[in-house]
A and B are shown apart, each in its own frame.
Chain A
Amino acid sequence: MSLTRRGFAGGAVAAAAFALLPRSPARADLRLDITRGQVQPVPIAIPAFAGGGAAGGDIAGVVSNDLQSSGLFRPLDPHSFLQIVSAGSQPDFADWKPLGAQALVTGSVQEQGGGQLQVEFRLWDVLAAQQLAGFAYTTTPANWRRVAHKIADAIYERITGEGGYFDTRIVYVAESGLAQSRVRRLAIMDQDGANNRYLTDGRYLVLTPRFAPSAQEIAYLTYATGQPSVFLLNLDSGERQSIGDFPGMTFAPRFSPDGSRLIFSRSEGGASNIFTLDRGGRQVARLTSGDAINTSPCYSPDGGRIVFNSDRGGSQQLYVMSASGGGVHRISFGSGKYGTPVWSPRGDLIAFTKIDSTSFYIGVMQPDGSGERLLTQDYLVEAPTWAPNGRVLMYFREGPMNASGGGSLPQLFTIDLTGYNKREVPTPGGASDPAWSPLLR
C-alpha cells in the first residue's frame, strides 16, 4: 500500500517535472490561404544600359515604353535611381528596395568588330535577390529597336508567364485628306509606332490588309484593277500580285494559320460567299452557298474551324463552321448587328464589332457564343486585331463627319482584355484597318 502510494507520489512528481520541462517547440506550420491579390502593375526599374553612348539610354527607353504600354508594368522614374549598375555584376538590391522596385533590368551595349552591336541584359528579382533571366543579342546597330523590343518581350514573358508581343509590326491603311477625297495608302510600322513607312502610293483605294503567318507577306483589298480584288504583297521584294481572276469582287482576305491557304469572300449577284484558295495548287473551294451575304471569314488558330458573319438569319450575326464548310451554327444572339469576327491566337476568344442603333462596340465572346463582353464603345470603332499573345486588341476609332464633309481622321487604339488599359497608337496621320503581325523571328 505504502509502496503503491510512494509509487503514485513518484509518478506525480515525475509528471510535474515533465510538465515543468521546457517544451520543445511544436514547429507545426501555420497554414494560411491567400486568395486575393492586387491587380496592379509591377514596379520595375530600368536604368540606362551601360556603354554604347546614347544607345544605352535609348534601348532602356524603348523597353520601358513597351512594358508601360502593356499596363502590367510600372517603370520607375530613372531620376530616382541611387546607383549605376555595371553590367555583369550583381546589383546591390538594398539600393532598389526603397524605391519600391520589384524587378530590375540591367544591361550593357558593346560595339564589336565588324560593325556589330552586342546588347546584354539581365532581369533581377529585387525582393528575392536573384536573376530571373539574362540574354545577349548580337546585331547591326541599325537594329537596336528590335533588340529593345526583344528584351521587353523576354521581361514580359518572365514576369507574366505569357508570351510577349513587342517585337511585332502593324500594317494599316494610312488616311489623309477630306472624307470625299480621302487618300488611302498601305503603311507598316513597329508595334509602338516607330519606323513608319508606306507600301503603296495612294493612287488606288486599299482596304483590310492582313499578315501572313510568316509576317513577310500581306493580303489586302485594292481597286487597282478597277473593281475590288484581293492582292498579295511581298514585304521583302515589294512584289504585288493578284490572287487570280474571279468573276465578281473578291474581298475580306485572310491567311490560314499555316499560311497554305487564303480564305476570302466573293460577290455573286446580291450574295457573297466564302471561298478558300490553296496557294500551292491554286485550287479554289467553296465553303458557303446561298443568297445571303457571308463574309469576314477567320480561321481558328488550330485551323479546324472558321468564324464568319452572315445575314442569313435576317440580321448580321456571327456563325462558326468547320474548315470544310460543314456544321454551321450561330454563336451571337445579342441585339444589334455583329461583324468582323477575329479568332484569338490563343483560341479562347473571338473578338468582334457590334453595332446597335446608337453606337459601335468592340467586344469578345467565347467560341461557343457565351461570355460576351464589350470592351469599348464609340461613335465608330471597328476592325479588331489581336496581339500575338491574345491579351491585347488593336482597332480604329473615327469621329462623326462635320457639315463640310471633313471630320476627324481615324486613329488606332489598343485595349487589353480587362478593358481598362486603352491607349492611342501614334501614327503620322489618320489610320484605319490595322493588322497585327505575328511575333517576328
Chain B
Amino acid sequence: MSAITIERGAAQRAAQSRPTPEIMSSGLVLSAALHVGLIAVIVLGLPSLFSPPPPQETPIAVELVTIAPETRATHPNPYRPRREARPIPAIAPPAPKPKPELRPQPAAATPPAAAPPPPPPPKPQPIETKAPPPVPQPKPDFAALEKREMPRPQTRRPDDRAFDKLLDKLDQRTPDKPTPQPARFDALLKNLTQQDAAADDAPPSPRQIAAAAEASSQPKAPLGSALTASQKDLIIEQIERCWDVPAGARDAKDLNIEVKAVVNQDGTVREAAIVDTARYATDPFFRAAADSAKRAVLNPRCSPLPVPADKYDAWHNLDLFFNPKDLL
C-alpha cells in the first residue's frame, strides 16, 4: 500500500514535472528570450532613451599661479657645486690688455641734458704721510715703501641730496592718489569688459574668469595690515640671494648685523644704513660683513623687492637682521 502510494505519488510528480511538448517549447522560447534580453541589458546597459546626449567635452584653460614659490621650509642644496670649486685652473689669467683708446668715452663726461652737470668732486688731497718704517739694514729688494692713507672724497654729490628730497616729495604724494600706471591699466580692463558685455552674451573666456577670480580672491587688505609669512619669506629669500658672505670666515656665527632700510613704493630700496656704527668703526670683520649685508639690500640684481603693493605701510621701513648662522 505504501509502496503503491509511493509509486502513485511518484507517478503524479512525474506527470506534473513533465509538461506537454507544446508548453515546453513555448516556455523555452520565452526563457531564452528573457535571458537574451537580460544579457543584452548587462552587456549594453539600460537604454537611456530620455536623457540628453552627453555634452561634448571642452578643454578648460587653467593657469597655474605660484603664490609663494619658496618658503622657509625649502633649504638650498648644501652640496651644490660652488663657483670656486674649479678643477685647478692655471693660476695666471691672461694679462689684461687695457686699451683706453678703444673704449667709449666715460659717460660722466657727457651729462644728461635735463640734469645740471654735477660739479667736479673735490680733488682729494693727501692728509697724512707715513714715514717709511725704520729698516734695520738697507736691502735691495726691501726698498722703502712709503704708505699713506688717501683722503676720502665727498661720496655724495649735491644733486644726490636734491634727488632724495624729490623722492621724499614723491613718496609723500603717492599715497594720496593712485600711481598713473595702475589707473591706466584699470581703465583698459574696464574698457575691455564693457566691450565684451556689449558684443554678445557669450560665456566669459577663461582668462576673464581668471582675472575676476584674482581680484575677488585677494580682498584688498587695509593699509598697514601685516604681511603673511610667505610674503615675508619672499622678501627674505630675495635678499638672501644677493648676500655674498665671505666663505670660511672665523666667528661668523657671532655676527649680528642690523640694517635699516627705507623702501620706495615700487619696491626699490631708497636707502640702507648699518645700525651699529660703533662696532662698524672698530671691528674690521664686522665692518666687512656689514658692508656685504648693505650691498645685499642695495643690489640691483635683487631689486625691486617682492612686496605686496597694498601693504605699503607694513614694509615701508625694513629692519633687517643679518646672521649667517644657517650657512655655517
Contacts and interface: CB of A to CB of B under 8 A. Distances in A.
Contacts of A102: 244, 295, 299
Which of A146, A147, A162, A192 is packed against the most chain B CB atoms within 10 Å?
A162
A423 B300 contact: no
A27 B316 contact: yes
Contacts of B325: 35
Contacts of A32: 232, 235-236, 239, 318-321
B288 A159 contact: yes
A94 B243 contact: no
A374 B322 CA distance: 30
A30 B315 contact: yes
B97 A57 contact: yes
Nearest to A413: B88
A48 B318 contact: no
A150 B147 contact: yes
Contacts of B155: 90, 129-131
Nearest to A159: B288
Give the interface residue-count category, chain A.
Answer: 35 or more
Given A26-B224, A425-B91, A60 B295 contact: no
Interface string A218-256: 000000000000000000100000000000000000000
B149 to A, nearest CB: 6
A210 B133 CA distance: 25
Interface stretch (B1-9, B56-64, B190-198, B279-287): B279-287
Interface string A44-69: 00011000000011101100110011
A34 B96 contact: no
Contacts of A34: 236, 239-240, 243, 293, 296, 320-323
Contacts of A404: none
A37 B240 contact: yes
B236 A33 contact: yes
Contact of B318 (A29, A100, A346, A418): A29
Contacts of B250: 162, 346, 348
Interface string B46-77: 00000000000000000000000000000010
A25 B224 contact: yes
B124 to A, nearest CB: 5
Interface stretch (A133-141, A289-297, A307-315, A332-340): A133-141
A31 B90 CA distance: 45
A52 to B, nearest CB: 11
Given A157-B284, A423-B91, A33 B321 contact: yes
A72 interface: yes
B91 A69 contact: yes
Contacts of A142: 143
Interface residues of B, number: 99
Contacts of B93: 64-65, 68, 75
Contact of A127 (B223, B299, B317): B299
A161 B244 contact: no
A435 B18 CA distance: 119
B201 interface: no
A122 B248 contact: no
Interface in B75-121: 76, 82-85, 88-93, 95-98, 100, 103-104, 106-108, 120-121
A132 B292 CA distance: 12
Most A CB atoms within 10 A — which of B232, B247, B285, B318? B247
A284 interface: no
Contacts, number: 284
A40 B82 contact: yes
Nearest to B262: A29
A23 B121 contact: no
Interface string A103-139: 0000000000000000011100101111111111111
Chain B interface mostly: loop
B22 interface: no
A88 B286 CA distance: 28
Given A36-B327, A102-B299, A131 B153 contact: yes
Nearest to B132: A138
A95 interface: yes
Nearest to B243: A37
Given A37-B244, A161-B285, A125 B296 contact: no
Nearest to B236: A32
A42 B244 contact: yes
A57 B94 CA distance: 12
Contact of A83 (B82, B107, B316): B107
B130 to A, nearest CB: 9
Interface string A70-103: 0110110011011111101111101101001010
Nearest to B314: A30
A160 interface: yes
- Give the one of B223, B248, B283, B322 with max A CB within 10 A: B248
Contact of B247 (A39, A413, A423): A39
B70 to A, nearest CB: 11
Contacts of B223: 23, 25
A35 B326 CA distance: 5
Interface in A413-441: 413, 416-418, 420-426, 440-441
Nearest to A124: B155
B91 A84 contact: no
B249 interface: yes
A15 B145 CA distance: 76
Given A35-B323, A134-B149, A150-B147, A192 B91 contact: yes
A27 B223 CA distance: 11
A161 B284 contact: yes
A38 interface: yes
B91 A65 contact: yes
A97 B300 contact: yes
B298 to A, nearest CB: 4
A36 B324 contact: yes
A188 B218 CA distance: 70
B123 A88 contact: yes
A193 interface: yes
A193 B91 contact: yes
B151 interface: yes
A158 interface: yes
10 contacts: A28-B314, A29-B317, A78-B97, A82-B103, A102-B244, A127-B294, A128-B291, A128-B298, A162-B288, A418-B248
Given A97-B300, A137-B146, A162-B246, 6 more contacts: A37-B240, A71-B247, A127-B294, A128-B294, A157-B284, A193-B91
8 nearest A-B residue pairs (beta carbon): A134-B150, A161-B288, A161-B285, A48-B98, A37-B243, A37-B245, A83-B106, A29-B319
Interface of B: 76, 82-85, 88-93, 95-98, 100, 103-104, 106-108, 120-121, 123-124, 126, 133, 137, 139, 141-157, 175, 223-224, 227, 232, 235-236, 239-250, 260, 272, 283-289, 291-296, 298-301, 313-327
